[in-house]
Amino acid sequence: MAIKSQTAALPGVAALDPTKHVKYTLGMVLGVQDFEQEHTYLAARDEWLARDTVGYGTVSGLDVVVELDGDDPRVKVTSGSAITPCGRPVCVTPDQCATLNDWLQRHDAEVRSRLAGLASTASLASTVSAPLAGSTSASLSQPAIATAYVVLCARDCLTDDLPVPGEPCRTEDSLTAPSRVTDDFRLELRLDAPPHVEERMIREVVTWLRLVPAVDGPGSDPADLVEALRSAAVSALEGLSEDPGTAVDPILLPAPTGGLTLGAGRMRDYLRAAFELWVTEIRPLTHAGACTQGCHCRPSVPSVAWSPCGCGSSPTGGAPESCGCDELLLAAVHLPVVEGADGHLVVQETGAEVDVTARPWVLHTRFLQEWLLGLDGGGLSFPGSPLEGLPGEKGDKGDQGDQGEKGDKGDKGDGGDEGLKGDKGDRGEQGLKGDKGDKGDKGDPGTQGRQGIPGIPGPPGTQFVVAAFHYDFEAAALVWEVGDVDPTFQFTVADGHLWFTFRDFRSDRRYAFKGVTGTRFGDQMHSLEMVSGDDGRLRKELERGLGRSLDEGLVVRALGSDGFAPRFWLEISDYTDVQL
């Protein structure tokens, strides 16, 4: 729960202090404030650990979408969990919804004023009519974009009233008091985003480190990196105003100087120095006073009621306490608004956009562990910059350079290949007839002659295989089949039995079967059997489950020592007309 300083009810009793816990002594009389002090210490310690060691942001769920509820646009936040900037864990359940037009009606004048301020710039000058500035009756000539921020915070809910002692003649509402405090949450739509200085500074520092180039040489001294980063961080934070209205001004670190480089061989030293500077100097500047609950608190006004989707409930009684300073941004919703028939601003049914780029979130340790183990070298190699990003797109081809100077004469090359064969000379005179020579060698075979005319096709051969299939007992279905196999009945009265037929099946034919069962790795041997028609009691049970005679089909049984086989393959051949 949030820590609030309170004045002691009894003289001499100190106010609640999150750094103190009660020291019990025998005989000491403990009062309400003693129990509150003990809870204050334990709660503050948990929040301090979460805030300073884990950070703040969305932990799980809390997706933000804009959807239509009939004709009314509404923003929906799914269930999930988060840690607030002050370290409080928050659990949202079930899904929460808020109607955007109801919120616009409550903030019509303020939204118009914001749009008028934007209209003073060139970006929206054409969307807002002339009398808008300072007027609650101004109109929009075309849709303008109003931004609402979805903000989450933790709150306490007092429950379980019990009777309490008191003075006589008390009013009825003082007869009981809450006995329990339930963790609760609050969702708000705001026109201003939470400052989140630490979150924005984290992103800027990481971006700044990415911009420092890495080189193969020695690089700059780590002390130079520290000094440059320190100077950039101080320069960025000096421009922030302490006025809550300007707390969301941009945080921009000046780019690293051109001469700063990181030597690849000293990357560990650079990262250690940069991380130490962040922990010891820069981070304390982003949330000064957080250990005493000084989280730049500023008041806020309740703006919209949230409820479980579809229940149509609304808060009763007075307006609940707003989020205050300990608030967490979930999304910025950009709404296209126009003026409705009744003169109020309304949200168009389409065109709303949810922007989560500025939303803080926290990855749990196990995810980070697996991510680091998946990097090259177990996350210990540092190519390029210390936080090198993905390669960019290939740039455009540059202009052709000037022609270079003529180079020196090269060395003499190796000898060339042998030249081509010369032309054939003139034919000489015919010589005298010589003696008869020896018989020459046998010549090469001649060219193969043309193929003859095909003969008359012979009679077709005998077809033996009439059906085959693969059956899966676990899925109770055929995997594949040939021959129109019908495995309609898988018996439950006897596991491992399957009754089936196939195309042209006749009980008076002579069939032969070949089959094999499928087992899992390490299973004992299974067997595949055909069940004959005279199995007595089992036959009757199977026919009763089948509703017909087994003579109208075939029964196969796939069994093993540990039960029926999960699957089998079977081939059926017909040998009725085969003559040997």
From residue 463, alpha-carbon distances to 460, 466, 553, 573 in Å are 9, 7, 21, 8
Give residue-wise pLDDT tens across range 487-512: 765 654 456 777 788 888 887 888 88
Q: Are strands 214-215 and 262-263 parallel, antiparallel or unpaired?
A: parallel
Residue 413 DSSP one-character state: P
Q: What is the mean pLDDT of the chain?
A: 76
**How long a stretch of residues is the chain?**
580
From residue 434, alpha-carbon distances to 311, 437, 438, 441 in Å are 122, 8, 12, 19
> What per-residue string of b and e applies to 320-341 under the rule 16 or more CB within 10 Å gives b?
eebbbbbbbbbbbbebbbebee
Question: What are the structural domain ranges in the chain?
Answer: 57-165+174-194+296-357, 215-288, 465-574
Burial class (CB in 10 A: 0-12, 13-18, 19+), 447: exposed
Specify whether the backbone of 249 is left (phi greater than 0), alpha (psi in -120 to 50) or beta.
beta
Q: How confident is the model at residue 96 (pLDDT cuts 50, 70, 90)?
A: very high
User: H/E/C letters for each residue in 285-302?
Assistant: HHCCCHHHCCCCCCCCCC
Mean pLDDT score, 11-39: 82
Give residue-wise pLDDT tens across range 99-142: 999 999 899 889 988 888 765 433 333 333 333 333 344 456 67
The two three-digit tokens of residue 374, written as one number: 């998946």
Task: Find the helix or strand (DSSP H, E) in which 75 lies.
Answer: strand 72-77
> What per-residue string of b and e applies to 255-291 under the rule 16 or more CB within 10 Å gives b?
ebeeebbbbbebbeebbebbeebbeeebbebbbeebe
Q: Can you give the pTM of this predicted structure?
A: 0.56
Beta carbons of 191 and 248 less than 8 angstroms apart: no
Q: Which residues pair with 497 in a beta bridge?
A: 557
User: H/E/C letters for each residue in 353-369?
Assistant: EEECCCCCECCCHHHHH
Beta carbons of 139 and 338 less than 8 angstroms apart: no
What is the DSSP annotation of 477-518?
Answer: EEEEEES--EEEEE-SSSTTEEEEE-TT--TTS-EEEEEEEE
Q: Would you say residue 3 has pLDDT above 50? A: no
**Which is higher by pLDDT, 117 or 338?**
338
Q: Which residues pair with 163 in a beta bridge?
A: 176
**Which is higher by pLDDT, 270 or 12?**
270
- Which of 557, 544, 568 is CA-nearest to residue 475? 568
* Euclidean distance between CA atoms 183 and 179, whole angstroms: 14
The identity of residue 236, as a single letter, is A
* Euclidean distance between CA atoms 497 and 479, whole angstroms: 17
Q: Quote the strand ranges of 358-496, DSSP E.
A: 465-472, 477-482, 486-490
pLDDT at 151: 93
